[in-house]
Chain A
Amino acid sequence: MIRVENLHKKYGRNEVLKGLDLQINSGGILAVLGPNGSGKTTLIKCILGMVLPNKGDIHVLDMPVKNNWKYRSQINYLPQIADFPGNIRVKELFSMIKDLRQQTDRKEDLIALFGLQPFLNKKLSTLSGGTKQKVNIVLAFMFDSPLIILDEPTNGLDPAALISLKKLIREEKEKGSTILITSHIMQFVEEIAEEIIYLLEGKIYFEGSIASLKKSTGKSNFEHAIAAIATTSIDG
């Protein structure tokens, strides 16, 4: 599904990714974890072609990412902070994205799921942060895509919406999609993710299932296990 080879990225003098290699196979839910500044978002943005690597290759669905944009029709992306042009109505935003992608969508179900009907005719600038995030989630799940990338999807969601989100993610997995998630809510990750990769200092420090993580760190609690790799890494 995704193949990353020897990926390097520098922002000025700050080297964020230092020769990262990664192979993600089709299907399943993968969480990308790591401390702040470890390069999670950079990695995701490299995959999306938003950040241009200094070195290395990325292939998505066997298509090179470089100088290419068509592969993005196979990806759904939920950005971390979502803000929209203020003067456009929610309804118009949905139809605009649909217009841009020219793919079949299922926004009706999603709007119902997150209870967005009352907001459809509201201008985006009048929405609260949580509602914006719901709009954002609808946009991310509107289309059927083999790859779904969610950057901090839980931001600002109320518990009901969070449950709906989890349900959605599972449904997508059932359909055989690959789902890439970053989150700092460990409870959410533990609940939803099958595999995790742990990034540290621009490289993959750990790759495997949650069970194997717990096993290798000797902690039964996921949160503690994550903290344990963080500390060992600092000590080492």
Chain B
Amino acid sequence: MRQIIIIFLTCLFVSLSGLKAQSLVICDQCELKTIKEGIAVAQDHDTLLIRKGTYREFNILIDKPLTLLGVDSPVIDGQDKGEIFRIVSDSVTIDGLSIINVGTSYTSDYAAIRVVKSDHFAIRNVVLEKLFFGIYLERSNNGIVSNNKILGDAQDEYNSGNGIQLWYSKNVVVEGNIVQGVRDGIYLEFADNISISKNHSRDNLRYGLHFMFSNDDSYEDNIFENNGAGVAVMFSKRIKMERNIFRRNWGTASFGLLLKEINDAEILGNTFEKNTIGINVEGSNRINYLNNNFVENGWAVKIMGACYTNTFRNNNFIYNSFDISYNSKLNDNVFDQNYWSDYTGYDLDRDGIGDVPYRPVKLFSYIVNRSPETIVLLRSLFMDIIDFSEKVSPVFTPDKLADTRPLMKKKI
């Protein structure tokens, strides 16, 4: 059904885009037996209908505005020989193809689909398997990458590539993709104004999503699960992170989200569940953490280095081993009206806000920061006792680091 609608829409688009446009059919028994032949004979804005079958082709260059439309999931088998598609023209659409056996190389980053200096591309409903790099956008703007399935089987970081990579690309929408088993699920470098939503990135070797030097991007409603290290946002400005789920990034050096040198970001309504570290923050300023859920993480939030003017408001901190860890001064960071499952205070005036402040940094967390080996004393009676005494009369932990208006009930 979906297929039919897509074909219909494509036909509509093609018919609108110029009267000259026509459809060329490629199949085993057709006149055109390979995609390369098809591209060679096609006119601008033609549609190549690629019928079901296996096409053993690689290094396919698309140098004119074309639509490649797979009918009943045709398979392009690269036989591990190199790159499959290279798009060097604007307005190219690839839809409904299945690509396998992309070549692996230590010298060039072979991709299943590489878009080079081309705008208005669309890559949809593509299934990639046994790949090196998946979809590689290079200096290409104003495109869309949606509903693709990238199923890698990467074993080691040094000989694996990224699922979707954006490099010097702007205004791209990445939506509804499933990426798994590659090095970084989605990787952005110098990519601005990108919207990443409803993707599911899991079981990747390194990061589920990785930002480097990319500004004004947003990612929403994604699920990042069981990745080697979680999601990393580094050296970027004005990133919006909303309603994502960061789950089960359990590993000795894993976190849900890593923020490194990030300024002016919004982190809203996300869920961090069962990560070694929920959010690891290093040198990041002016970030608003609002309405997030931190559930059963080792550390919910670990703040390292100088961080200024961060606000934590209306978050839920539920059953984390450590809620907050600081290795520097509190500076002017604010904790206000969060819910803390460890809070044992009372609310006499029944306004929903606890009457005594909550101190989210336990003494133990402070000690572990100083000498990490002390973590072996986790959950020992001695630690509980000194944590309790510290709670009653703080000596070591920064006095000001407190939520003076802790919520009595979970924020929904």
Q: Tell whether any CB of A sits under 8 Å from a CB of B in the complex.
A: no
